Copies of this chain bind each other. A is one copy, B any other.
Amino acid sequence: MEKQEQIYRAALALFAQYGFHGTPTSRIAQEAGVSNGTLFHYFKTKEELIIALYNKIKNDISQYLSADMNPEEKFELVFKRLFIKSLYWAVDNSQAFFYIQQVHVSPHYEQVPADVIMEQTRSHRQLIERGLAEGALKPMSVELIYTLLSSQVFGVYQFLTANEQTEADQKQVIQQAADLVWHMLKA
């Protein structure tokens, strides 16, 4: 599956830069070093590629983040670390993170089945449920907490990509944002 991987990589780079509309499938194939026909051998339609790429990235993030959700540790610690790791992933995989947002505000997002979305957010939800059960988080709906947490990640990501700064400053902003969001959501 070497070629498929190349197609994913090329598609991500091009979609992130030019958008779905701005990148012809022919260009993706070219950039990936495969023929037009090969692309459509692996993905029946352009839409299928868009969704498959979205799911691939989501699974990557999910796997990367779920490693540290140790239930032995103090909730505050796990919570903050999750937030911080999310942001490091976002800045290190800027294209992918941006692509996810693109899909979210596009008509393609409706093509992602609800159960797939549920699966992709399961570990986060479980952590929030744990926090609620322990009385560590303010009593609010899981969805609301999840959404506020996510949007704070998006916000800080946006700030970091829009404003140049040193690695040290970046680290400090991320740490501060983690403290802020914890302060906002903790019981």
- B152 contacts A17, CB within 8 Å? no
Q: Which one of A37-45, A84-92, A126-134, A143-151 is at the interface?
A: A143-151
What's the least CB distance linking A121 to chain B, in Å? 12
Chain B residue numbers with a CB within 8 Å of A162 are: 143, 147
What's the least CB distance linking A154 to chain B, in Å? 5
* Chain A interface residue bracket vs B: 35 or more
Chain B residue numbers with a CB within 8 Å of A21 are: 19-21
- A147 contacts B176, CB within 8 Å? no
Q: A140: CB under 8 A from chain B?
A: yes
What's the least CB distance linking A102 to chain B, in Å? 5
Chain B residue numbers with a CB within 8 Å of A135 are: none
Q: A18: CB under 8 A from chain B?
A: yes
Chain B residue numbers with a CB within 8 Å of A158 are: 147, 151
Bound complex: CA A148 to CA B21 (Å): 30
Contact of A184 among B105, B107, B140, B183 (CB under 8 A): B183
**A96-147 at interface with B (beta carbon < 8 Å):** 98, 101-102, 105-107, 138, 140-141, 143-144, 147
Chain B residue numbers with a CB within 8 Å of A144 are: 159, 173
- A105 contacts B107, CB within 8 Å? no
Q: A155: CB under 8 A from chain B?
A: yes
Of the A-B pairs whose beta carbons lie under 8 Å apart in the complex, a sample of 8, sorted by A's number, is A19-B20, A101-B105, A138-B180, A143-B163, A144-B159, A151-B158, A152-B155, A154-B155
Seed contacts A105-B105, A141-B163, A147-B159; 10 additional CB < 8 Å A-B pairs: A17-B107, A19-B106, A20-B21, A98-B105, A102-B106, A144-B159, A144-B173, A147-B156, A151-B151, A151-B158
